[in-house]
Each structure stands twice: as structure tokens, then as C-alpha cells.
Structure 1
Amino acid sequence: MSRSLRHGALAATAIVFSIASLAACGAGNDAATLDVRPDSAAARSGDISIQNANVITQPERTATGPAVVSATLFNNGTKQQTLDAITLPGTSAAVQLHAAQGKGPVVVPAGGKVVLGGKGNASAVIENGHEAAQAGNVQPVVFKLSSTGEITLGAFVVPATSYFTDFGPSSLPVAPSKAPSSPSTPSGSASATPGTPG
């Protein structure tokens, strides 16, 4: 066997081994790629896992008004749980929870998920958001669930801009300008009496 053929065979063998070892990174339930953690706040306890947790403040740094907690809660169990409370340790801020339909508790269904924040989803509103969290910080957040209990994580505090625009609070509404008063009905004009056909 010539020297160049031996070198070619060795190179081919090295390539096969490197491809096989790279393929092994993504194979099976204990694959190395499963250890990669997202660049966002996440935690797990019992059947509940929480991902993409953020505290989203007003779009402008100087604006006052509410902030929100956004997150996705997954329930890997066989029984539904309710999200009973969210607290922000180290602050006196109160977090108001609202179900997606507006009434009742925020439910994390068995084998399902609930999303906090965004149109049509449940919400967690921090009334005095400007005092509770400053953009750029990491805020401890405690999620209290009916069966699992408390799950604590450090959520990034971000303004409601860019990717977070649709999940955070909007700018404070501007009061409408005073509209001119409607002209009075001239006397003698016909007007229908409520409840009678006109």
C-alpha cells in the first residue's frame, strides 16, 4: 500500500469517527444537547416547569405605570393545578392574577400549559411596576401553585420593546381631548320616546 493511500485511509477514518461522535451528542434521552439551558429564566419543581419568565416594564424608562410578569407554566402531571399567587421578594409590590377569560383562577391544566402575558392569555399585573423592578436587573419571582407549592427563580427585567412589545404593558393611555359639546335639539323637532316604535 502506498504512502498516499495510507494517509487517505487515515483521514477518512478520522472523519468517520468525528461524525459518529458529533451524532452521539444529539441521540437518546440523556443526550448532551439536552443539558443546554435557555438564556431566560427557567425552573422546575415536581410536575411544574416554568420557562421564559420575565418582568416586563413600561416601554419608556421614565414612564410610570404597571409592569407584568410573563412566563409559560407547564404541568407534566395528571392533575390540574392553580396558580394561586406570584410574589416579588424584596418589594412591597402586589401582583394581580387574571385568567385568560377574565374570571376564575389561573389554571395550569394536566398535561398542558398556561401562558402569562400577551393577547388572549392569562395575565399577572404588577400595579406599581416602576417601584418594583428596574429594567436591566434580575428580580426574584416566586410562583405559588396549589399542589407543587412555591417555585422561585430570577426573572430578567426588560422594557416592553422589541420582542417583548406584545407581552408587556403598553404606554400609559393619553387622556382624550375635551370634545365640543353636542348641539342641543331644536325645540319643536320630533324625537322618539324610548320604548316606542319610531
Structure 2
Amino acid sequence: MSRSLRRGALAATAIVFSVAALSACGAGNDAQTLQIRPDNAAVTVDDIKIQNALVITQPEPGAKGPAAVSATVFNGGDQPQTLEAVTLPGTNAVVKLTPAKGTGQVTVPAGGSLVIGGAGNATALVESGAESAKDGDAQKVVFKLSKTGEVGLDAFVVPATSYFKEFGPSVVPAPPSASASAPASPSASASPSGEASHGTGH
């Protein structure tokens, strides 16, 4: 009885924090949190398992700018694999892969995992994100690995808000109102002679 209650609580927590937990899932393929399957895309082909795949767009509807693919790639084999490409079939999108540190190949270690998206992790930036994916859709995403080959699945398309904000595109255009209001501060510019010092001293 207590075990079923505990699993129910864990499932509820996973639905809320499924994306936020991506960067903390380093305990291996058999970790208890990985046994819970929230409503996020997952697929297994040979030694490769891909979970929590998402396409995360700009936070504002219709905003121009890149999107990002977020996922966790597990490698159950005894050989590392290179993630050679990520593509969005049916679109003209170009996805730029960048490792967590430096430049070069993006590798999924043997018996380990690769987190894509979020601070300190590898990134998969989708150029022309607004044209490539629409919020609410399920977009086909294909991960090409050096040994396993192409592994495809349908990923949900969500905006970079709430729990998805930290895993979304790093380039977010500033709202027009914010950029326009900054230089228009009346107290910042006009001030005859030395009387302005009374208004700035706190």
C-alpha cells in the first residue's frame, strides 16, 4: 500500500517537474524517476533511449527568433556515440549542435547520458524557429547517432515559459516596449546645472 502511494506521488511530481529534472537525471537508466513516463516523447532504438523530447519556441506567440530542441539521450552500450545531427523533417529548419563546453563533437558517453538544453548542457538551436514549429503541434525530430543511426520521434512544441523557460532558446528578442522605454527616462537626461544631485542621492 505504501509503495503504491509513493509511486503515485512520484508520478504527480514528475508531470510537474519532468523538464526541470532533465539535468538531474544522472543516476543511470534504471533510476526510479526514469520509470515514470509523463506525457513527453520517448523512444528506444538498440542501445539508445531518448526521453523528454521537446521543441521549445520563443515565449511570445509569433515572436521571431530561434527555437531549441530539448531532450535527454541515454546510451546503454559500452561504446560512446556521437550525436551527429538533429533534424526536423518536413521543415527547412537548420539545427545547430553545440557541446556543453568548448567546440567539437557532441558525445553520448558509454553507459551514460547527454542532456540537451538548459544551462551548462549541450544545445540544439533551431534557426527560424517560428517558421519551423508551431506551439501545440507535435513535430517530428530525428536524432542521428554515429552507431545507432537515425532515431526519430514526435516531440511536443511548447513556448519557453514556466517550467520550459530554462530549457528554451538562449536568444530571446527583447519586447519592443522594454527597449523603447529605457532611453526615455526624464530624470536621466535633462538636468540644469548642479540641482540634479538632489534627486539622485539615496
Whether TM exceeds 0.5 here: the answer is: yes
Residues in 1 aligned to 2:106 and 2:36: alpha-carbon distance in whole angstroms: 30
Kindly report which structure 2 residues correspond to 1:1-198, keeping only aligned pairs within 5 A, or say none.
37-170=37-170, 171-173=172-174
How far did 1:35 drift?
A: 8.5
Structure 1 residue 62: Cα displacement: 2.1
Spell out structure 1 runs of 4+ moving beyond 3 A: 34-37, 173-178
Residues matched between the structures, number = 149
Deviation sequence 1:108-137 (CA, Å, 0-9, x none): 000100100000000000010000000000
User: For 2:169 and 2:65, how far apart are their aligned partners in 1?
Assistant: 8
Using the alignment, how far apart are the partners of 2:81 and 2:168 within structure 1?
25
Larger Rg: 1
Amino acid at match of 1:172: P
Instruction: State the TM-score, normalizing by the size of structure 2.
Output: 0.68
| SS of alignment partner, residue 166 of structure 1 | helix
> For residue 5 of structure 1, what is the aligned residue in structure 2?
none
Any unmatched runs of 5+ in structure 1? 1-18, 23-33, 179-198
Unaligned stretches of 5+ residues in structure 2:
5-33, 184-202
Amino acid of the structure 2 residue aligned with 1:78? D
The letter of the residue matching 1:41 is A
2:16 — aligned with what?
none
Equivalent-residue separation in structure 2 for 1:36 and 1:66 (angstroms): 31
1:108 counterpart letter in structure 2: V
Shift of 1:37: 3.7
User: Which amino acid counterpart does residue 108 of structure 2 have in structure 1?
Assistant: V
Q: Distance in 2 between matches of 1:130 and 1:121?
A: 23
Shift of 1:169: 1.7
Deviations 1:136-157 (A, max 9, x none): 0000000000000000100000
SS of match in other structure, 1:84: strand
Please give the root-mean-square deviation of Cα atoms over the aligned residues, in Å. 2.4
For residue 96 of structure 1, give the secondary structure of its aligned residue in structure 2. Answer: strand
Q: In structure 1, the residue corresponding to 2:130 is in which secondary structure?
A: helix
